[in-house]
Amino acid sequence: MIELIPAIDIIEGKCVRLSQGDYASKKIYNEDPVEVAKEFEDYGIRRLHVVDLDGAASHHIVNYRTLERIASRTSLIIDFGGGIKSDQDVVIAFENGAEMITIGSLAVKNPELFLNWLLTYGAEKIILGADVKDRMIAVNGWKDETTKELFPFLNDYIKKGVEKVICTDISRDGMLEGPSIDLYEEILQEYSNLYLIASGGVSCMADIRALDKAKIPAVIFGKALYEGHISLKQLNSYL
């Protein structure tokens, strides 16, 4: 059964969502992300994806205190991303309660450092973030496209030990238009043992059921929850 991973995106310590990574589209859903995380936990959610959007647009982690508050006040398994650019950032993330970290931009810009973290902390704790637009990798909070194609990028890192990948289709993120199931199926046809986490576009329970039917291991979703298109009660059969 597919693993459900709600997302909490943070700007200035508040729970927000963007559309297609556009910071100008910011909408605040709760002043206190801890309240949101506790509600998730009360309904049986076990896993959480936390993104430091201030960090993603910066050169270091910014909202680590919010991470610490969520981790210390819930028992949720947290994977954390955004602004992890140095050894110190990795230490800060783990010391403040992250069980796993997601690395996207740095895996593109500094493969040597990323692979060092993969070796040091292990494939269970390091998730590769593959943010794509028209099958090209994007970095820096999705502001910049690269010349790297998705499949060669994945292939290189999977050969070097990556086991978990969050793949976000930027064009669908926050748009409530449905996930890129064809893309995820194509990835799993190529890498059947990959723990692939789909991200972007989930709009309703039918999308989650379709991802589950396609045997996608896990899904991250946020806006559909916050906008009321999916209720926590509806998720019971998957928890």
Catalytic residue numbers read 9, 131
Indicate if the alpha-carbon torsion angle 164, 170, 28, 42 is positive or negative: negative
What is the SS3 string spanning 179-210? CCHHHHHHHHHHCCCCEEEEECCCCCHHHHHH
DSSP 85: -
Contact 172, 179 (CB under 8 A): yes
Cβ–Cβ < 8 Å for 57, 26? no
